[in-house]
C-alpha cells in the first residue's frame, strides 16, 4: 500500500476510516437506546457549539459571562459586547468548522493521540473558563467527565484506535451540526421558539428561516469541501 511523504496516513486507510466512522455514526441513530451511550458526545457537541459563541465574543472584544449546558444537552451562552453578527453564527458554523478541522487532522500520521489530547484540553479550557458550577453544576461536572474521557482515550488507546476515535468524533460534530441546522430550519418555519436564527433576525432583519437556511447551506458547503479534500488526500 502506498504512503504519502507529507505525513498523511495512507489514502486507502484514511478513506476506510472515514467510511467506517460515518457508517457507525449513521447506524447508531437507528439503534434503540444508543442516545444514552452517545450522550457524552452529544454534550461535547453542544459544548463546542456554545464555545464557538464564546470564542467569537472574546475575539470581537466582548465578555463572556457564562455558558450553561442543561441535562437535555441544550445550551446557552450569556455575553456582553462583541460583534453580534459573528457571535450569533459562530455556534452552528463554528461546530462544523471544528469538526471539519478535526477530520482533516485525523489524516495526519500520529494525530490520533494528539487529537484527543487537543479536544480534551479545549473541553477543559471552555469548562474552566465559562461553565460555572453555580448555580448549574451539571454542565460543569459533565465538562470534567468528557475531558477525562478524552484524555483517557489519548492515554490508553493505541494510535490507530485514537485516530479512529478522532475521526468518529469529527463525523459526529459535523453530522450533529448539520442535523441541528435541519431542525433549526424546521423550527423557524413551524414554531416561534427562541433560537440563534430568531435572535439574528431580531438584530439584523430578514427572517429566522433565511438565517437558518443560510447557515445550513454554509455548513453543507464546509462539509462538502472537507470531504473532498479528505478523500483526495491533499
**Per-residue pLDDT reduced to its tens digit, 121-140:** 999 999 999 999 888 899 99
- Is 204 exposed, middle or buried, given 0-12, 13-18 or 19+ CB atoms closer than 10 A? exposed
Q: How much of the chain, in percent, has pLDDT values that exceed 70?
A: 90
Whether residue 91 has pLDDT greater than 90? no
pLDDT in the model for residue 14: 64
pLDDT score of 9: 53
In Å, how far are 79, 124, 167, 171 from 148, measured between CA atoms? 27, 9, 19, 21
> Cell numbers at residue 120, please?
480534551
The average confidence (pLDDT) of the chain is: 83
pLDDT of res. 6: 47
Query: Distance between CA 22 and CA 221 in Å, rounded?
Result: 17
Q: How confident is the model at residue 219 (pLDDT cuts 50, 70, 90)?
A: confident
Q: Among 17-31, 59-73, 207-221, name the one with the lowest average pLDDT.
A: 17-31
Is pTM beyond 0.85? Reply is no
Worst-scoring range by mean pLDDT, 119-123, 183-187, 213-217?
183-187
State the DSSP code for 225.
H
- Segment 13-55, tens digit of pLDDT: 667 767 777 777 777 767 777 677 788 888 999 999 999 999 9
2: pLDDT strictly greater than 50: no
C-alpha closest to that of 152 among 127, 174, 124, 175: 124
Asked whether the predicted pLDDT for residue 7 surpasses 70, the reply is no
Identify the CA nearest to 207 among candidates 215, 16, 219: 215
Does the pLDDT value for residue 175 go beyond 60? Answer: yes
For the segment 220-233, the average pLDDT, to the nearest whole number, is 81
pLDDT of residue 29: 67
pLDDT classification of 12: cutoffs 50, 70, 90: low
pLDDT at residue 109 is higher than 80: no
Amino acid at each position: 500500500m502506498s504512503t504519502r511523504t507529507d505525513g498523511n496516513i495512507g489514502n486507502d486507510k484514511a478513506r476506510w476510516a472515514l467510511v467506517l466512522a460515518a457508517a457507525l455514526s449513521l447506524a447508531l441513530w437507528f439503534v434503540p437506546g444508543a442516545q444514552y451511550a452517545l450522550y457524552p458526545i452529544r454534550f461535547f457537541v453542544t459544548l463546542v457549539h456554545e464555545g464557538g459563541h464564546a470564542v467569537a465574543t472574546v475575539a470581537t472584544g466582548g465578555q463572556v459571562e457564562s455558558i450553561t449546558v442543561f441535562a437535555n444537552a441544550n445550551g446557552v451562552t450569556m455575553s456582553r459586547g462583541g460583534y453580534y453578527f459573528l457571535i450569533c453564527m459562530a455556534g452552528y458554523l463554528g461546530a462544523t468548522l471544528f469538526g471539519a478541522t478535526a477530520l482533516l487532522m485525523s489524516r495526519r500520521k500520529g494525530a490520533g493521540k494528539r487529537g484527543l489530547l487537543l479536544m480534551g484540553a479545549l473541553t477543559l479550557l471552555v469548562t474552566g473558563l465559562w461553565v460555572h458550577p453555580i448555580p448549574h453544576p451539571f454542565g460543569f461536572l459533565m465538562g470534567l467527565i468528557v475531558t477525562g474521557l478524552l484524555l483517557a482515550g489519548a492515554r490508553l488507546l493505541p494510535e490507530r484506535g485514537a485516530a479512529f476515535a478522532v475521526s468518529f468524533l469529527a463525523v459526529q460534530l459535523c453530522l450533529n451540526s448539520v442535523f441541528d441546522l435541519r431542525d433549526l430550519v424546521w423550527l423557524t418555519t413551524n414554531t416561534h421558539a427562541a433560537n440563534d436564527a430568531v435572535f439574528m433576525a431580531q438584530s439584523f432583519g430578514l427572517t429566522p428561516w433565511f438565517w437558518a437556511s443560510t447557515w445550513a447551506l454554509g455548513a453543507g458547503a464546509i462539509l462538502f469541501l472537507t470531504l473532498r479534500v479528505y478523500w483526495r488526500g491533499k
